[in-house]
Amino acid sequence: MPMSYLYGKKFVGPITPTILELRKELYSVPYHEVDWNKARDTCAKEDLRYPRSLLQNVIWTCLNKIVEPALNCWPVNKLRDKALKNLMKHMHYEDESTKYIGICPIDKALGMICCWIDDPNSDAFKLHLPRIYDYLWLAEDGMKAQVYDGCQSWEIAFIVQAYCSTDLVNEFAPTLRKAHEFIKRSQVQYYISP
């Protein structure tokens, strides 16, 4: 929900020296030279599970070049405004039902940003601030953050994908067998009674 809200609002934060340094670090070409139309369809070959078909390319191009600009024009933009208000209502409901902790730290941070964009002086934003510390703690080796309960399955899946995308599969075969067993044991089984 927060990502949909941020995209729908077309929110861009202030350009600070930190943002400028991040742009230098993250992009291989100067930020002002990035071809965003080309970047939209750029994907690492390792991440491209299935090449997009011609039909998909036509659909995505139409959405980007025709539908998206149309949604920004009056009177259609009123529909977007209404959808964003409804989305914010759902985010407020989630915030209230989780007492402003959220379902995970990423969702919490993005939800808090959305509340700030909606109204920087809102009670919702103010109620978010003290709950940040519910995800953080100081350990003997530094600051820690709680992420998801059960994120081990995600992490192992990514590790297995990384090994499989290299020539290291044979070298790490015992580790991959253990990972397979863990993933198998972690599955939630649903049984349908006859």
User: Which percentage of the chain shows pLDDT scores above 90?
Assistant: 39
Q: Does residue 117 have a pLDDT over 90? A: yes
Domain positions in the chain are 1-14+80-145, 152-186
Q: Tell me: pLDDT of 28 over 90.
A: no
Residue 27: strand, helix, or coil: coil
- The structure tokens 């991040």 sit at 22
Q: 190 or 131: whose pLDDT is higher? A: 131
Q: Please list, in sequence order, all residues whose beta carbon lies within 8 angstroms of the beta carbon of residue 11, skipping any fewer than 6 positions away.
A: 117
Query: What is the value of pTM for the model shown?
Result: 0.65
Q: Under a CB-based contact definition with an 8 Å cutoff, are residues 95 and 115 in contact?
A: yes
Place of tokens 């965003």: 36
Maximum Cα–Cα distance across the chain = 64
